[in-house]
Amino acid sequence: MVNPAHSSDFLIAPDPEDLRLTRRVDGIDHTGKAASIRVVEERPLTIFLNSQEIVTAMTIGDYPKYLALGFLRNQGMLSADDRIRGVEYDAELETVVVRTEIQTDFEEKLKKKTRTSGCAVGTVFGDMMEGLDGLTLPRAEVRTSWLYALQRAINTTPSLYLEAGAIHGTVLCQMDQPLVYMEDVGRHNAVDKIAGWMMSENIPAADKILYTTGRLTSEMVIKTAMMGIPALASRSGFTAWGVEIANSVGLTLIGRMRGKRFVCLSGADRLIWDADPDSIADEARKSGRKGAGE
């Protein structure tokens, strides 16, 4: 039987006791009785790339520098060649400024798009897609025993989701060991924090697995591929375009992962079937809150 991981086993783990991340709110329950519960905070964080304002994201407020770096990298606004001169966070102004040694190509492109149409969303997504041109992820095996071990460890780790719900989690893993567990109100924020941490610490991606509670959409697949991670797993489901992109870049894509059950829609030839599903307990059906990614 796989032993659940403890928070101390992680390089970074959720801190459900951090009082900055939740507040207690009073209300009434289904019987009309007074109820007081913890709810997750949302705070704006404005991200600048040098002098150019890029986006204001709603976030729980932890690891703002990692979030800013990871967002810019995953959106294709920072390349591997861009040298970071500094990352400055101002808690009072709720801003992060990422400074590079020279102006990036993206700043001029974004300014032009903003002047001509008032909306840079198309440019942002277009640059993400351009980042996949010619990309083929390293061929990395994934053992089913790792998937079962990771699922159990992650699901039993103390987290904001277990305390308050209404939040997504993303976990960077290596073989059967979860390493960095980030949470946020948006699943994209959670994965961007991991990307920012990897960028800051110069962490290799070719031997990693990314686990998320969120849906396996095109954007989640693109971000994982941009990070160079060859496998993405989730307890939630797929979109058709997400599967199509995963197949095109060689990403192993595994979803609907609950108990002994999972479905692999890309990269099944890279799975090593070294665990007997009959030895794995089915996940108990819960009558309360659904999974964070649903």
Residue 108, pLDDT > 80, answer no
User: Cα(223)–Cα(135) distance, rounded to whole angstroms?
Assistant: 12
Q: Residue 131's pLDDT is what?
A: 72
Q: Are residues 151 and 56 located together in one domain of the fold?
A: no
Residue 214, pLDDT > 60, answer yes
* Domain closes at, from 130, 150, 171: 130
Angle ∠(125,72,250) on CA atoms, nearest 5: 60
* Domain closes at, from 95, 130, 165: 130
Q: Classify residue 184: in a domain, yes or no.
A: yes
- The band of 127, judged by pLDDT with boundaries at 50, 70 and 90, is low
Q: Residue 81's pLDDT is what?
A: 80
Do the beta carbons of residue 170 and residue 213 sit within 8 Å?
yes
Q: In terms of pLDDT, which residue wins out, 37 or 165?
A: 37
Q: Are residues 166 and 107 located together in one domain of the fold?
A: no
Residue 175: which of 139, 213, 147, 137 has the closest Cα?
147
Give pLDDT tens digits for 29-81.
999 999 999 999 999 999 999 999 999 999 999 999 999 999 999 988 888 78
User: Cα(74)–Cα(270) distance, rounded to whole angstroms?
Assistant: 25
